[in-house]
Amino acid sequence: MLIFLFIFHWTSVCCALEQTTCNNSSNSSQDYQILYSYLTGTGAHNFSESVTIGFLGAYGQAQVVLGALPLAVEAVNEDADLLPGRRLSYVAADIGTNPPASGLTRSKSSLAAQAIRVMTEMRDNGTIAFIGPDDTCSSEALVAAAWNLPMISYKCSDTRVSDKKVFFTFARTLPPSSKVSKSVVALLRAFQWHRFVVVSGTHPASASEVQEAIEELSIIHGLTVTDIKQYSDYIPHYIEQMDNIVADTYMKTRVYVFVGEHIALIDFIKCLQRRKLLDTGDYVVISVDDEIYDPNRRIKIIRRDYLDPFLNETWGNVSDVMGFRSVLKLTPSHPRNPKYKYVCEKIKASSAKPPFCVPYHHKIFDSISVPIQAAYLYDAVMIYARALTEVFQNNEDPRNGTAVLRRIVNRSYHSIQGYDVFIDGNGDAEGNFTVVALLDDQEMNGTLRMSMQPVGYFQYKSNGSNVPSALPVREFRYLDVDRPIQWVGGKLPRAEPRCGFNGEKCIYRIDWRFLASVSLMSLIVLIGILFCVKHYRYEHKLACLLWKIDMRDVTIIPTETTELSNKSMIQVCRHSVFQAPSSSLAELAESSPKRAYTDIGLYKGNIVAIKYLKKRSVDLTRSIRKELKQIREVRHENLIPFIGASVDHGNVAILTAYSARGSLEDVLANEDLHLDNMFVSSLVTDILKGMIYLHDSDIISHGNLRSSNCLIDSRWVVQITDFGLHEFKACPEGAETQSKKLKRSLWRAPELLRDPSPPARGTQKGDVYSFGIVLYEIIGRRGPWGDTNIEPSEILRQVIEVKEVPLRPPLENLGAADYIIKCMKACWHEEPDQRPDIRFVRVRLKEMQAGLKPNIFDNMLAIMEKYAYNLEGLVQERTNQLTEEKKKTEALLHRMLPKSVAEALKRGDRVEAESFDCVTIYFSDIVGFTELSAVSTPLQVIDLLNDLYTCFDSIISHYDVYKVETIGDAYMVVSGLPIRNGDRHAGEIASMALHLLSNIRKFEIKHRQGEVLQLRIGIHSGHCVAGVVGLKMPRYCLFGDTVNTASRMESSGEAFKIHISHATYNLLQNLGGYRCEERGVIPIKGKGEMRTYWLVGEDPAQRLARIREEIVGSSLFSSSDRLSETPDLLRRPGANFLIDGVQFPQASCPLLQLHQRARLAYSMHYSQENLTAGDLERHLFQSQCCSNRNPRSAPAITFTDLNYRYM
């Protein structure tokens, strides 16, 4: 059982806290952080039973290796030969996961101080050795040396701790990067390559250390370093540099020692192949790599398309791969322990147990494997246990770090990885390296069955003891003598030609010094001339100002093209200084129906987009001229062409090619445009191709990528704009509104938002973040932040804020494929270094391009064809919508004007005034309306009138009347026009007035409950003239003395009474069925004395009889046989009728029109002889008998729940 001494700052800690820490670690804001402090402190310690070591680690970084510590301690305690009679225990402290209060990451000095404090507590409580720390170790090792306590690190790579005069108690199992130099020299000596050239890059950072170590060892072993060449790690630059390196060195060496990354090595091999140096087998390359060789990934070492798949160059064909036959690659050896996978599984399981309790360890190890540092940590504990065992056997003090280190340095130990490792006199592990070469591999698929496979390894030359010879050297050994290196041409390359590089070893002699001097001088002169010519031409281009445009040569085209026809637009263009070609005019005419997204003009016959800068003038400095020259030379199908710039005073502008279809933002906002997968894939691919070219160019990055800067031309090709010219476009502070600035920042990366002075050109990782937002915008079509209901300023504030789960656009309802979602999240990563570059983004989205055709022209035609289909559907949809709106407009117009008048106005005909011999006019108003308005708010008055007139309108729709107008509380209705109805107009108005008067008593005033409106009605009949007045808002008006008299009947009447004139009285008496009371002779203003009457009621039976006679006299019942067959439904009030056995009472249907009742009755009678029940239903109710009411007839019946199914 292991002994865990947990360290807390208080002394009353129970064991249950350990389990609680494990259970709750996943919910902690800091990943599995545990604070420790000793339970007790003592001055003297007894080591007869147990020995305690201290582990110093930054758990946030070391969480994937923590499980190796308890595993190694357990192995020590289970080994009877190690520390016999004693047990090894450990205490652990986290020194790297406690950030300061400000929330910033601790510096290395603060971490070192934290480690030293913990070390002091550990030493005071009995710890006699230290394992770790991770990255910072020089200060801690110096303290350990002062205490004379051993410290063994498994991860520290600081070169200073190799000085054993200062750090005499420090050792490490992690091999320093420079240790590979011994293996390189051993390989060179094994094949007698005594002359070579070193080629190294600036990345990784340890490349310079390896280079210097190779130089030092070469001098010791008598090898000659002919030259040392370096290249930068920026891809567009180092390919040219490598060509220069090969050109400078291939005539003075046959052996290259290459120190750099995989991808750089592949490009270097291609440089040698272009000169055909590897075809004959005379040249060889020894590559130094710090990545462990993995047999499962052996093909990737030689495949450029795995490492850089965005490049157009193909890699992996026979000629390219065969170049690796001349490459020997030194890599850290892959673990040879057959049980190493089992050890890794135990490390994973151990990390989840106390005291570390790594949270989410399953998810962590799902994405990454156990790193090699776990083996180094395991080895550190084991070599200390072996050394301490010897110390106890010699009865020495176990706290004597010097004695412990003597039993560690200059010795070999067997690593858990399955091979021996030597620790030199400086306490540094030498490491173990393997040589891999290109061999036949039958397990590979395809025509080329070859891969990089191990061919040899290194071992120390030993004298039989555990201590190597006076000068430790390594020897190269073949892993399998039956599988040697397959040299090109079947022979080992020589270090130099037989006659030497200059033929100096052959018989003939040439004065090479003189020749070299002349060549060198000639070369210097030639280079100088070329440089001067290049510089002159460059300066000439800067001074020529080829980009400069005079705005007087530009014809500005109005952007409000919706107010101009195509013809007028073309006429405007004809006034340009230069005549436009027909294609430009056609493009302009095509885009004219919509508003241009920017200012546009005509320059030299081409339509250009003009972007005015908010500055009066520009100082054309050298840097600005270089910017303009640089942007003018950029040419790519997915980048907007730069036409030029104007620097005229007051007209500072940038002119680019015009894209007719506007920006991507406009296209996405157009809901009528359907974008299928092929459209979306084409848009995304175009943006990626443009950004890849931009990142590989001298412009480096965009810095302002968003959907409004992705323009679409007439061929539906996306072209990126607004890149470069950052100094030229720089405007003074305050030139941009706050709202525009906030909106523009929605696409900006968090690190750029946090930077008070971000780079004007942005960064490539910032462009990747912006592309992720644009991709989300294309897929979702709901803006850059989707349905996020937050103000832009709040969005930016939360994005800038550093928190565990940063704010990003919502993905829940996006409906995109998983690989697209993962790509978006990768582009949005909070850490810029964790985001993929733009090339790798294209690889991750390669599946989107499945629907695209390989031929660009075919792909463009397919997109245009889909767009045409979409337009056809859109036109049909718009046509249907127009038809519906036309119907609604006509219905509204017929409500405002009589149908005959409305039709005449629509035809553009003049509506002539018409005279009517006799009509009946109705006037009414509300008694006391002025007082009611005085005690009500305007809104209450409006609501009252709206409710009242809505009620009136619903009533008059059942009568053969026409509503003329309403003025305030006055209501005017007429019958007998515009369609004449004989003498029935008086009866229609009278019945309507009685209907209105009966309903007004039940009308409720919402804001004055309990009050009743006092309706006063006046009616008069006589001659009238009607016509349309005015062109704007035309009105159908009545003229004549009859109108005035009807108004006087109303004004001289009384509340709740219907005041009628003598003329109306006579008409009603002729019709019959109306009860009137004589009022007498009264004075009427403007008319003198008139005899008037009160209308008090009517006989519904006589009205129904009149309607029945009208229907019977119509064409429907014109014949006598039909009249005799008419059911008495029309003659008997309250009669019922049957439909499919269901009886419908007339009383339950009060709104059905009588002419429809006639149609219904006749159809029922006819169906009994000829129609089935189903045919009867279709015949009766598909004609919408209940919805199309005749405005000339009063309401009678309607359908209720019993016949709802027929409606």
Partners of residue 599 on adjacent β-strands: 610
Residue 299 confidence (pLDDT):
62
DSSP string across 1019-1038: EEEEEEEEEEE-SSS-EEEE
Helix, strand, coil percentages, rounded to 5, for the chain: 45, 20, 40
Task: Tell me which architecture the domain covering 177-335+434-490 has in CATH.
Answer: 3-Layer(aba) Sandwich (3.40)
Q: At what angle do helices 1100-1112 and 1154-1170 cross, to 10 degrees?
A: 50
Q: How confident is the model at residue 975 (pLDDT cuts 50, 70, 90)?
A: very high
The H-or-E segment that residue 765 falls in is helix 764-780
Q: What is the pLDDT of residues 433-443, one digit of tens each?
A: 889 998 887 77
Checking if the pLDDT of 147 tops 90, the result is: yes
pLDDT per position as a tens digit, 607-631: 899 998 888 888 888 888 888 888 8
Rounded Cα–Cα distance for residues 325 and 488 (Å): 6
pLDDT at residue 914 tops 80: yes
More confident residue, 923 or 1122: 923
Q: What is the CATH number of domain 663-852?
A: 1.10.510.10
Q: Is 644 exposed, middle or buried (0-12, 13-18, 19+ CB in 10 A)?
A: buried
Per-position DSSP letters for 384-434, written without gaps between them: HHHHHHHHHHTT--TT-HHHHHHTTTTEEEE-TTSSEEEE-TTSBB---EE
pLDDT reported for residue 246: 94
DSSP helix/strand/coil, 962: strand
Element (H, E) at 456: strand 450-460
Q: With left for phi above 0 and alpha for psi between -120 and 50, is residue 410 left, alpha or beta?
A: left
Whether domain 545-658 has CATH 3.30.200.20: the reply is: yes
pTM (two decimals): 0.44
- pLDDT tier, 751 (very low <50, low <70, confident <90, very high otherwise): very high
Structural tokens at position 1043 = 């109108």
Pick 444 or 1102 by higher pLDDT: 1102
428: left (phi over 0), alpha (psi -120 to 50) or beta: beta
Is it the case that residue 28 has pLDDT exceeding 70? Answer: no
**What is the pLDDT at residue 363?**
67
Considering only residues 1133 and 138, tell me which one the structure prediction assigns the higher pLDDT.
138
Q: What is the Cα–Cα distance from 117 to 535, expressed in whole angstroms?
A: 61
Rounded to whole angstroms, how far apart are CA atoms 1028 and 911?
6
DSSP state of 331: E
Q: Is the pLDDT of residue 906 over 80?
A: no
What's residue 441's pLDDT? 79
How many Å apart are CA 1019 and CA 1045, to the nearest integer?
Answer: 8
pLDDT at 1181 over 60: no
* Residue 885 vs residue 271, higher pLDDT: 271
Is 60 a residue whose pLDDT tops 70? no
Reported as a pLDDT band with limits 50, 70 and 90, residue 318 is low
1112 residue type, one letter:
V
Task: Region of 705 please: left (phi>0), alpha (psi -120 to 50) or beta.
Answer: beta
Q: Determine the average pLDDT of the residues in 875-900.
A: 76
Residue with the larger pLDDT of the pair 563 and 377: 377
Contact between 278 and 323 (Cβ < 8 Å):
yes
Encoded tokens for 896: 């405002």
Long-range contacts of 408-411 (CB under 8 A, 24+ apart): 408/150, 408/152, 408/171, 408/383, 408/384, 409/164, 409/171, 410/467, 410/468, 411/466, 411/467
Contact 264, 233 (CB under 8 A): yes
Polymer length of the chain: 1207
CA 169 – CA 154 distance, rounded (Å): 15
Q: Which residues pair with 479 in a beta bridge?
A: none
pLDDT band at 172 (very low <50, low <70, confident <90, very high): very high
Match 């389990």 to its residue by tokens: 19
**Which pLDDT score is estimated for 1027?**
85
Tens-digit pLDDT profile for residues 1141-1173: 444 443 333 333 444 433 333 333 333 334 343
Q: Can you say how many angstroms the Cα of residue 99 is from the centroid of all Cα atoms in its chain?
A: 32
Is pLDDT of 27 > 80?
no
| Distance of alpha carbon 1159 from alpha carbon 1184, whole angstroms | 12
Look at residue 1113 in the predicted model and tell me its pLDDT: 60
What span, in angstroms and rounded, lies between the C-alpha atoms of 1056 and 720?
77
Instruction: Determine if the peptide bond prior to 204 is cis (ω within 30°).
Output: yes
Cis peptide preceding 355, ω within 30 of 0: yes
b/e map of 1104-1134 (b: 16 or more CB within 10 Å)?
bebbbebbbeeeebeeeeeeeebeebbeeee
Q: Does residue 87 have a pLDDT over 60?
A: yes
Q: Are 117 and 54 in contact (CB under 8 A)?
A: no
Per the CB < 8 A criterion, the answer to whether 227 and 254 are in contact is no
**Residue 1165 pLDDT:** 35
Q: CA-to-CA distance for 604 and 600, rounded, in angstroms? A: 13
771/638 Cα distance (integer angstroms): 15
Pick the CATH number of 16-172+339-371+373-416 from 2.40.128.20, 3.40.50.620, 3.40.50.2300, 3.90.420.10: 3.40.50.2300
Number of Cβ within 10 Å of residue 967's Cβ equals 8
Give the residue among 234, 57, 218, 67 at the shortest CA–CA distance from 132.
57
Min mean pLDDT across 43-57, 194-208, 908-922 is at 43-57
Helix/strand/coil (H/E/C) assignment for every residue in 773-837: HHHHHHHHCCCCCCCCCCCHHHHHHHHHCCCCCCCCCCCCCCCCCHHHHHHHHHHCCCCHHHCCC
**Coil vs helix vs strand at 440:** strand
From the number of C-beta atoms within 10 Å of its C-beta (0-12, 13-18, 19+), residue 770 rates as buried
CATH superfamily label, 910-1098: Nucleotide cyclase, GGDEF domain (3.30.70.1230)
Using an 8 Å Cβ cutoff, are 442 and 449 in contact? yes
Q: How far is CA 50 from CA 83, 86, 130, 662, in A?
A: 9, 5, 15, 78
26 secondary structure, DSSP code: G
pLDDT above 70 coverage of the chain, percent: 76
Q: d(Cα 1167, Cα 1179) in Å, to the nearest integer?
A: 10
Distances (CA, A) of 818 to 309, 815, 839: 21, 9, 19
Measured CA to CA, the distance from residue 769 to residue 709 in angstroms comes to: 15
Question: How far lies 346's CA from each of 23, 65, 366, 745, 1197, in Å?
Answer: 20, 11, 15, 49, 89
Q: How far is the C-alpha of 769 from the C-alpha of 792, rounded, in Å? A: 17
User: Which of 69-83, 689-703, 1022-1036 is least confident?
Assistant: 1022-1036
Helix axes 856-896, 677-696, angle to 10 degrees: 130
Percent over 90 (pLDDT), the chain: 29
pLDDT band at 95 (very low <50, low <70, confident <90, very high): confident
β-strand partners of 720? 639, 710
Predicted confidence (pLDDT) per residue in 485-518, tens digit: 889 888 899 999 888 888 777 766 667 888 888 8
Q: Are 678 and 852 in contact (CB under 8 A)?
A: yes
pLDDT of 694: 93
Q: Which helix (H) or strand (E) holds 1139?
A: strand 1136-1139
Mean pLDDT over the full length of the chain: 78
Least confident window among 829-833, 886-890, 967-971? 886-890
Residue 798 or 585, more confident: 798
- Would you say residue 958 has pLDDT above 90? no
Residue 877 pLDDT exceeds 50:
yes
Between residues 889 and 574, the one the model is more confident about: 889
Of the candidates 652, 462, 635, 658, the one whose C-alpha atom is nearest the C-alpha of residue 557 is 658
Mean pLDDT of 1118-1122: 42
Q: What is the pLDDT of residue 719?
A: 93
Sign of CA dihedral 733, 736, 737, 738: negative
Contacts of 778 (CB under 8 A, 6+ apart): 664, 668, 675, 680, 683, 684, 707
